[in-house]
Chains A and B, each alone.
Chain A
Amino acid sequence: MELLAPEPVSAGHIYAVTGAILTALGFYAFIVRRHALRQLLAVNVVGAGVFLILGGLGRGPDAIDPMPQALVITGIVVAVALTAFGAAMIVRLAEAPRSPDQGKAGKPDA
């Protein structure tokens, strides 16, 4: 293990490191995946990773900081708003070529 911390690893650190790995995993999938819906899912995983870092680092020995908790709740709601808009946009892109009031749009893959 690369952990050289003198005290045993705290629960906060376990979750924060998990969050860090999740963030990187999500970024990787976002680059490698070639369908917009899967990329939207990857963005959500990145978000979850960031939230976990925030929450894990706010976890003290006796209590969890209310400030990151409030931030994360705000973040979760903003993430769902983003997902809703993204999903609506992806569906709209797919139907764009056949819609009569639109010009010819490019193929919506990638």
Chain B
Amino acid sequence: MSGAFDLILCLMILGTAGIALFVRDALAAIAFFIAFGNLMGLAWLSLGAVNVALAEIAIGAGVTGILLILARARLLALGDPVHSGDTPTWLWLGAFAACTSFAVLLAATVLSITPESGLDRVVAPLMPGLGIENRVTGVLLAFRAYDTLLESFVLLGALVAVWSLAPARAWPGRPAEPRMADGQMHQVAGASGRVLLPVALVMAAYLVWAGSDLPGGAFQAGTVLAGGLMLAAMGGAIGLPRSDRPLLRAALVLGPLVFLAIGLGGIAAGGFLIYPKGLAKALIVTIEYTLFLSIGVTLALLVAGPPVADSPVPDAGGNG
């Protein structure tokens, strides 16, 4: 039974991916991409990786989908019809041949490797020392904390890169308001944004806390926060902040800096990013809460895009 489910799910994944990649209309392509992301989430669930399923659906399908939809809308407003030009026959024939052989080679290689969860047996006995039970959180924040530390700076770097695309006269302004054009829809989004933002905050705080022992964690929670902020901004419930606001800057760097500070403090306990015995859980939870706040604000601003010149809407006082 399970095998048939996996097979059908994989076919649906390939089908939605194919439509997302090759359908003519860009909006349809993005819609199918979001469906594809959700099916990928199901695939992760079926593999038993609930942490990844949460991240895939929230970030891979949700945030990426919004990013693409916003980019398409902005391109249309600029007069770019987002049509894919014609491809010369030799190019698609050559690409088809190359990619088919690539697929066969890769599939053969993949089939020659036996799937196994060897490191699970290595990680499991180490978990009691951390005081948490979610092994993925353990890998992310203890055994491979270095990766996660760098990743938090990558996210920050991406925001700096996006901001650096702002025209000189727009700096340091606000991003373009992602407002709904339709009046009624704007009201609906505003009303639900006002209700959902506190709910998102509570849910995100729970996801971080649960992430120690159950599926969840800072990245998933940060996305929930970012989603709440974006919806509230779309409905006009909160305004987007100026990019030079000190409080905003502080929220952006808080998580990575706290992580770095605790990592450097670990040198006293034996080395960079080593947690002192008995303090591991407290430090991990501290890192996760600050990281979640920074990730949420960073993701929301990444979606909003670079500052634009003369955005006429006054700030309603929220900055996340």
Contact with B along A48-70 (1 / 0, CB 8 A): 10011101111111111111011
Looking at the assembled complex, report how far the CB atom of A3 sits from the nearest CB atom of chain B, in whole angstroms.
7
Question: In the complex, which residues of chain B have a beta carbon less than 8 angstroms from the beta carbon of A21?
Answer: 14, 103, 107
Determine the distance from Cα of A89 to Cα of B67 in the docked complex, in whole angstroms: 12
Determine if A48 and B52 form an interchain contact, defined as CB atoms under 8 angstroms apart.
no
Determine if B40 and A48 form an interchain contact, defined as CB atoms under 8 angstroms apart.
yes
CB contact list, B113-162 vs A, under 8 A: 113, 115-120, 123, 135-136, 138-140, 144, 147-148, 151, 154-155, 157-159, 161-162
Asked if B51 lies at the interface with its beta carbon under 8 angstroms from chain A, I say: yes
Determine if A83 and B67 form an interchain contact, defined as CB atoms under 8 angstroms apart.
yes
Question: In the complex, which residues of chain A have a beta carbon less than 8 angstroms from the beta carbon of B55?
Answer: 72-73, 76-77
Interface range, A side: 35 or more
Determine the distance from Cα of A70 to Cα of B146 in the docked complex, in whole angstroms: 12
Contact with A along B96-108 (1 / 0, CB 8 A): 1001101100110
Determine the distance from Cα of A9 to Cα of B6 in the docked complex, in whole angstroms: 11
Looking at the assembled complex, report how far the CB atom of B47 sits from the nearest CB atom of chain A, in whole angstroms.
5
* A-B pairs with lowest CB-CB distance, top 10: A12-B115, A60-B117, A24-B103, A81-B158, A29-B21, A84-B302, A87-B71, A34-B85, A70-B139, A66-B135
B residues adjacent to A (C-beta < 8 A) = 2-3, 6-7, 10, 13-14, 17-18, 20-22, 26, 29-30, 33, 36-37, 40, 43-44, 46-49, 51-52, 55-56, 59-60, 63-64, 67-68, 70-72, 74-75, 78-80, 82-87, 91-92, 95-96, 99-100, 102-103, 106-107, 109-111, 113, 115-120, 123, 135-136, 138-140, 144, 147-148, 151, 154-155, 157-159, 161-162, 165, 167-169, 217, 219, 295, 299, 302-303, 305-306
